[in-house]
Amino acid sequence: MQEPVPTPDQQNVRPSLVQLTHIIYALHAVAVLVGVTSASTVAGGFVFGLPSLVAVFINYLKRSEVNGTWLESHFRWQIRTFWFSFLWLIVYGLLIVTIIGIPIAWIMIALLGLWVGYRVVRGWVALGDGRTVGV
């Protein structure tokens, strides 16, 4: 059973940081949409697409400003989504070069795309509700 997530203290957060976090989620969402609508995979569009690269760069640039606030969980969520996607793309690349691994790789890349989309949507909804997001 999950423990209830405490309501974040929104008093000590600048509204501009909340808006910036929305922009970062929007950049990630654009990268996911590029993956869905183009010849690349969702995960490939997410990790190697310019919108996500810019978003993660902003995450690292502004990370110190959100430390100790409820937005810290969102920044951590976004950064981990990016790096875990990158890691699983490496595994995908290793599997795709073997005959036996090809079916597993294609299933894995589809699941990874769904996972990335889920993480972007779940995080953005939590931000819109003013909640922290679990990691």
Q: What is the pLDDT of residues 70-111, one digit of tens each?
A: 999 999 999 999 999 999 999 998 888 888 888 888 899 899
Q: Locate the DSSP E strands across 10-118.
A: none
Burial class (CB in 10 A: 0-12, 13-18, 19+), 96: middle
CA distance linking residue 128 with residue 135, whole number of Å: 17
Question: How do the domains of the chain map onto residue ranges?
Answer: 15-128
Torsion-angle region of residue 68: left (phi > 0), alpha (psi -120 to 50) or beta? Answer: left
| Percentage of residues of the chain with pLDDT beyond 70 | 90
Question: pTM of this prediction?
Answer: 0.84
